[in-house]
Amino acid sequence: MRRYFPLLLISFLLVVAATAGTFLAGQASRQNPDNVKNIVVYASIPVDQMAALAQEYEKAAGVRVSVVPMAATDLLVKLKAEKDAPRADLVVADTATLDAAKRARLLAPYASVQTDIIPSRFSEKDNLWIGLWYDPVVFAVNRDFLKNLPHPPAKWADLPETTGARFVMTDFLVADEAANLLYAMAAAKGEEETLAYMTKLHSGIAQYAKFLATPSRMTGLGEADIAVTVQSEAIRYIKDGFPLQIIVPADGTAVSVTGAGLAAGAPQAAEAGRFIDWLTGDEPQKVLIKNKVFVIPTSPENAFAKDNNARKIVTFPVKSVLSSDQKTRLLDKWVHTVRLSPR
């Protein structure tokens, strides 16, 4: 028996090696990138935000998310070019871009239990896109200046009447999020009243900033007294220790909404739908907050909604919907009748 022992040992080792090889091959097959489900997302939101969300979803769901970042205009051109052979599964963008994709019939409807509870004002009526989060325009007031005010501004009409206030806001020409205030106010109050209001406010403007972050920063540093700014930037600077107080206009305000829509003919429509459901939940907000993005989730079930003044936000009533041509003409009027006029 002893003389056969080496042969038996060799046979045993060969069996073990073969078994291990089979197991590892199976594992490799399961981990092979070709076998992993893949969602292709065309996104016009900041690439660092979308990449962080994609990475977190991959860990949570085991689904690869391939993000293709591009400008809104390029996104629409690419969707149209691929209409007959779609490559994208999902589009994540601002609502103006999503509406343009809708008009070009580049989106497909999607609804689920998770998306059904999102208020109608944050989603397209036929479920062609779903609002994920939004960012309202607020007043960010320097706290030292606020201490000396007998009556803090509570409404838009109060703002130009605030004695001695130096205002700062982002130039409507450089950021869609800023220009959204002009468009939303005109849709609610009419073009004439809106331009008259902007003219009145213009006399107290210390600076039209080139970036969304500048108004909050200037006001926190005491170089201005009141910033008209998106809330996310004001919160970011407050968390960094800047002395700002947020006031939400009681008579309504403009909001910038980021949403998601299934691409028409999406190769992975079911998986993309599950990704939309995940994007409405709590985990994405944790990711965004970690990246210093302080937006308000649209889902009333989201645990983070209450932490961002969600209950105080009243949106402007929409009496009319401005077309892209109307927006362009209104912006041009604002430039010539308000922006370029002396202060």
> What are the extents of the domains in the chain?
35-134+256-308, 135-254+316-339
Higher pLDDT, 315 or 318: 315
What is the model's pTM? 0.87
What share of the chain in percent tops pLDDT 90? 81
What pLDDT score was predicted for residue 24? 34
**pLDDT score of 244:** 98
Q: Does position 181 have pLDDT exceeding 90, yes or no? A: yes
35-134+256-308 against 135-254+316-339: fold identical: yes
Q: Which CATH architecture has domain 135-254+316-339?
A: 3-Layer(aba) Sandwich (3.40)
Q: Rounded to an integer, what distance in angstroms lies between the CA atom of residue 17 and that of residue 4?
A: 20
The 10s digit of each residue's pLDDT in 219-253 is 999 999 999 999 999 999 999 999 999 999 999 99
In the prediction, which pLDDT does 34 show? 57
Buried b (16+ CB within 10 A) or exposed e, 125-153: eebbbbbbbbbbbbbbbbeebbeeeeeeb
The encoded tokens of residue 25 equal 């091959």
Long-range CB pairs of 327-335, under 8 A, 24+ apart, other chains included: 327/179, 327/183, 330/182, 330/183, 330/186, 330/191, 330/194, 331/172, 331/173, 331/179, 331/182, 333/191, 333/195, 334/172, 334/182, 334/195, 334/198, 335/173
Contact between 172 and 331 (Cβ < 8 Å): yes
In terms of DSSP bridges, do strands 130-142 and 296-297 run parallel, antiparallel, or are they unpaired?
Answer: antiparallel
Percent of the chain with pLDDT over 70: 89
DSSP string, 281-312: SHHHHHHHHHTT---EES-TT-TTGGGGTGGG
Distance CA 209, CA 215 (A): 7
Helix axes 269-279, 47-61, angle to 10 degrees: 110
Q: How confident is the model at residue 319 (pLDDT cuts 50, 70, 90)?
A: confident
Fill in the amino acid letter for 92: V
Q: Is 324 exposed, middle or buried (0-12, 13-18, 19+ CB in 10 A)?
A: exposed
CB distance 205 to 222 below 8 Å = no
- pLDDT score at 102: 97
The pLDDT value recorded for residue 189 is: 94
CA distances from 13 to 4, 18, 25 (A): 14, 9, 18
CA 307 to chain centre: 17
Q: What share of the chain is helix, strand, coil (3-state, %, to 5)?
A: 50, 20, 35
- CB atoms under 10 Å from CB of 326, counted, come to 15
19: confidence class by pLDDT, cuts 50, 70, 90 = very low
In a 3-state reduction of DSSP, which class is residue 263?
strand
Number of helical H runs and strand E runs in the chain: 13, 11
Dihedral sign, CA of 282, 253, 110, 65? negative
CATH class assigned to 35-134+256-308: alpha beta
Helix axes 176-189 and 324-334, enclosed angle (nearest 10): 100
Residues with Cβ < 8 Å from 144, sequence gap 6 or more? Answer: 222, 243
At 86-130, the pLDDT tens digits run 999 999 999 999 999 999 999 999 999 999 999 999 999 999 999
Check residue 36 and give its pLDDT. 72
Cβ within 8 Å of residue 271, ≥6 positions away: 37, 39, 63, 89
DSSP state of 319: S
